[in-house]
Structure 1
Amino acid sequence: MQEQIKDRSIRNAARLLTLALIVTICYVLQSILVPILFAVILSVLLLPLCERFEKWGFNRAFASLTALILAILVLVGIGYLIVSQTLNITEDASDIANKIKSLIMRILEWTSDKFNMSTNELIQRAESEMGNSASTIGGFATSVLNSIGNSLAYGLLVPIMIFFFLYYREFFKEFFFRVFSATPQGKIEEVLSKIYDVLQNYLVGLISVMGIVAVLNTIGLMILGIEYAWFFGILAAMLTIFPYVGIFIGSLIPALFALATKDSAWYALGVVLWFQLVQTLEGNFITPKIVGGKASLNPLVSLLSFFLGGMLFGISGMILALPLLAMLKVIFDAMPSTAPYGFLLSEPDDSYIVTQQQIRKRKEKENKKKQKRKQE
């Protein structure tokens, strides 16, 4: 008995050590792993388009290249829309800045009346706090610039890798067959197919949801009379790629813009309320109908993976967190030794959400059954 407990402790310690080693390697090699992961996920998204071109008679190289070029054109079009709208907003920057300045002065006046402090004292205290946090802001700005630089590097490296993943996809599949040669080939094929289905379902569903959310956001902003409604609506929809916090940031930006450009704060409140309504529709109706249950994940584990991915890979890790978690769930479910972890990653069904009254009723039924058995 003691030997079994000792062996179990050694296995658990070995698993924790392996996990720590994998995380360390991923952190050290993030500059290589992040573009590879993005290339793998995006190649899964482009694979149906590439296969369609091949059915039309294109050879593998030309089909892969055509699918990649179309994807790049779509991204360039979205980038052009965002940049052009940003430039249009900057043309009115002086007027917006004056309105923001007057808004800040009103806030300072209200604060001075509320806390019996002069406006000068509030300004001095604010400057003091800004001075104390200058180093933090500088560090944040440096990290943002580094992220932009990494993004530019990924913009050159990722398309090349996507092309090779599409072109040599059968070669990479054969690699998995040879690595796991002890496992039946049909089992490996099934796991790879499930991973592809989960990623494809997640990515296509995400793009569809973003499109619907962009239209709904824009409609609400137009009804409220907010300028640049399409820009803010699309921007907020794109930020939903960051789970849980993206929708908050996406609603905060147009709300602040409405607060600075409109004469009443009710416009900003209307923006926040409308975006919350859209978020409710997206979470309870749009996403379940479009994405379905194929990529259903535990909400708590998803939230933790989002923050852990940010700690490990930065902004890229936040974007990659959910698709990687969905891939891990498929892999864990396929192996009996890791099936409990796959169960932990899955979304709990209603049978695990019971009230105390339901538990008491179950116990009463079990007791009645036991009494009947004893009487028999």
Structure 2
Amino acid sequence: MRAHNFYLPPYLKALTVMLFIIVLVFFLIVGKGLLVPIFMGGFFAILFTPLSNFLEKHKFPRTLACFISLLLMTALVVGLISFVISNVVSFTKDFTNVTDRLVGVAGEIDQWTLSKFGINENLEDKIDSNALIEYLNQNSKSITAFALNAIGSISGLVLIPIFMFFLLLYRDHLTKMMVMIYREKDPVLVKMRISSLRKLIQSYIVGVGKVMIILAILNITAYSLIGIKHAIFFGIIGAILNIIPYIGPLIGVSLPVIYSFLTMDSILYPVLVLGAYQIIQFLEGNFLTPKIVGGNVNLNAFITFLGLLVGGSIWGIAGMILVIPTLAILREIFDLSEHTKPFALLLGEEKEDIKYLPEDENTE
């Protein structure tokens, strides 16, 4: 029997795509608690695959090689969590001196308005120190809780290392599955694309890690020279948040700016922090990221920005971190099939000549 192509009218195709998007978003929202650890475990598995391969080449059983990789990842994550929690608890205690700082600023404003306009609002006398201290103490607890929740949503607690271990252990099964899905393609070609995809994600993660370390060193050096307390904490947090495009760097610099304004005795400190931030971001955007990370993910700016908005609205901080490498993976998968190549083109940033189809010559 001859195979007949199944034809859908354009409006049914559009309706099908819309329904698929609705179901997908619903699935992502409902399954957040399970999907976030799976995705994080998958990226950690990709990152630690070279280590596992190295150990296996030196006669380590795959199970033991995966377990050693798991221990190293766990040590890194636990160390980072401990560092963040201890520093958040520490620097929020410094807010007890904020009232004195605000009273001093209010006095300076009163003197300036009196000398310039002959107006004295007595702002200094209107500050309720006890109420302010109580408010800051409550918000200090909120800051700590926010940090703990953010870390918990990203780390996935126990599930991330479990998923990482099994994805490392059964990575050959996943390759065989992709070969079976795209069985009309050359198996060697599919394996090459999978290997290329794995290297792409590894290069992206390692490159981002290198940029993060350099930014942390630059931030810590700048904040220490300025005289900001907890310079190491603010420097590292700013470097980590930098992995979230556009939004992350702004959050990273707002923390030391607000802290220095509330705890230091001069407005010069937050101004210097902003100046250092501008210089470091210029170096990162024009030299560090282009040279180290390069165009590994190869996504256009619109898709990146839209992905951040969607990822953040669905999965919060974890979604904003995961969305960029996830879109890069989808782009490579879409590029495997002629039917999905238009979606790969939509996600990518390279300019390709679009060949318009001529009008149907058979139309009578």
Q: What is the TM-score of this pair, normalised by structure 1?
A: 0.77
Question: Given the superposition, is the C-alpha separation of residues 196 and 213 from structure 1 closer, same or farther in structure 2, using an over 3 Å criterion?
Answer: same
Q: Is contact 1:50–1:63 with CA below 8 Å preserved after alignment? A: yes
Q: Counterpart in 1 of 2:244? A: 242
Q: Counterpart in 2 of 1:24? A: 26
CA distance in 1, matches of 2:225, 2:307: 37
CA distance in 2, matches of 1:146, 1:224: 29
Q: What is the CA deviation profile of residues 303-323 of structure 1, one whole-angstrom value per residue up to 9, with x for unaligned ones?
A: 110010111222211111111
1:350-369 alignment to 2 at 5 Å?
none
Q: Is contact 2:261–2:269 with CA below 8 Å preserved after alignment? A: yes
Report how far residue 66 of structure 1 moved.
Answer: 0.7
CA distance in 2, matches of 1:50, 1:284: 34
Report how far residue 248 of structure 1 moved.
Answer: 0.7
- Helix, strand or coil: the match of 2:339? helix
Tell me the C-alpha RMSD between the 2 structures: 3.3
Q: Is contact 1:205–1:290 with CA below 8 Å preserved after alignment? A: yes
1:309-324 alignment to 2 at 5 Å?
309-324=311-326
1:283 aligns with 2:301: no
Report how far residue 89 of structure 1 moved.
Answer: 2.8
Q: Is contact 1:112–1:119 with CA below 8 Å preserved after alignment? A: no
Q: Is contact 1:99–1:260 with CA below 8 Å preserved after alignment? A: no
Q: What is the CA deviation profile of residues 150-191 of structure 1, one whole-angstrom value per residue up to 9, with x for unaligned ones?
A: 539821111011111111111222223334434432333133
Question: Given the superposition, is the C-alpha separation of residues 107 and 35 from structure 1 closer, same or farther in structure 2, using an over 3 Å criterion?
Answer: farther
Report how far residue 271 of structure 1 moved.
Answer: 0.4
CA distance in 2, matches of 1:197, 1:77: 27
Question: Given the superposition, is the C-alpha separation of residues 15 and 223 from structure 1 closer, same or farther in structure 2, using an over 3 Å criterion?
Answer: same
Report how far residue 119 of structure 1 moved.
Answer: 6.2
Identity of aligned residues (%): 31
CA distance in 2, matches of 1:79, 1:107: 40
Question: Given the superposition, is the C-alpha separation of residues 108 and 322 from structure 1 closer, same or farther in structure 2, using an over 3 Å criterion?
Answer: farther
Report how far residue 339 of structure 1 moved.
Answer: 2.1
* 1:75 aligns with one of 67, 74, 77: 77
Q: How many residues align?
A: 331
CA distance in 2, matches of 1:152, 1:299: 24
Q: Is contact 1:301–1:345 with CA below 8 Å preserved after alignment? A: yes
CA distance in 2, matches of 1:108, 1:28: 51
Q: Counterpart in 2 of 1:355? A: none
- Helix, strand or coil: the match of 1:236? helix
Q: What is the CA deviation profile of residues 283-326 of structure 1, one whole-angstrom value per residue up to 9, with x for unaligned ones?
A: 11101101122212211210110010111222211111111111
CA distance in 2, matches of 1:106, 1:348: 57
Q: Counterpart in 2 of 1:212? A: 214
Report how far residue 267 of structure 1 moved.
Answer: 1.5
Q: Which runs of 5+ in 1 are unaligned?
A: 125-136, 353-376
Q: Counterpart in 2 of 1:160? A: 162
CA distance in 2, matches of 1:307, 1:110: 45
Q: Counterpart in 2 of 1:341? A: 343
Report how far residue 221 of structure 1 moved.
Answer: 1.0
Q: Counterpart in 1 of 2:186? A: 184
Q: What is the CA deviation profile of residues 173-226 of structure 1, one whole-angstrom value per residue up to 9, with x for unaligned ones?
A: 222333443443233313322321221111111111100000111111122122
Q: Counterpart in 2 of 1:102? A: 103
Report how far residue 30 of structure 1 moved.
Answer: 2.0
Q: Is contact 1:259–1:268 with CA below 8 Å preserved after alignment? A: yes
CA distance in 1, matches of 2:32, 2:87: 33
* 2:226 aligns with one of 224, 227, 246: 224
